[in-house]
A = this chain, B = another copy of it.
Amino acid sequence: MDLYSASDKGIEEELGGRIRALRLRKNITQKELAAATALSLNAIKSLESGKGKLSTLIAILRALGALDQLNSFIPKPSISPIQLAKMQGKGRERASGGRLKDTSRGETEW
């Protein structure tokens, strides 16, 4: 299933399901995972149903030994050569000022 075609809610549920699958593959109970993460049983249940905080997700991934998957996730964005040229080293710290009159914010992708 393509994630783009799913609703946000659907994606949350899919994510929760994958976390659960990860846990079951290691044959760990929610209770054990709660103990390992110092989180409540409720927090584990909630995350597996798609709800929860980022910090909860991270703690669980660590306990499941799956933290490395965060590296493929949201990788440090690689920059294009031309952008690299524009920003001499430092890199942009703010989005472009909206000093233009138009609202289209026409951007040069490269």
Contacts and interface: CB of A to CB of B under 8 A. Distances in A.
Interface residues of A, number: 54
A8 B29 CA distance: 22
Residue among A28, A54, A76, A77 facing the most chain B CB atoms (10 A cut-off): A54
A107 interface: yes
Contacts of A73: 69-70, 72-74
Contacts of A23: 95
Given A22-B74, A26-B107, A66-B74, 14 more contacts: A3-B67, A8-B62, A11-B58, A12-B54, A12-B58, A21-B77, A24-B91, A24-B95, A25-B77, A27-B95, A27-B105, A32-B105, A69-B72, A72-B72
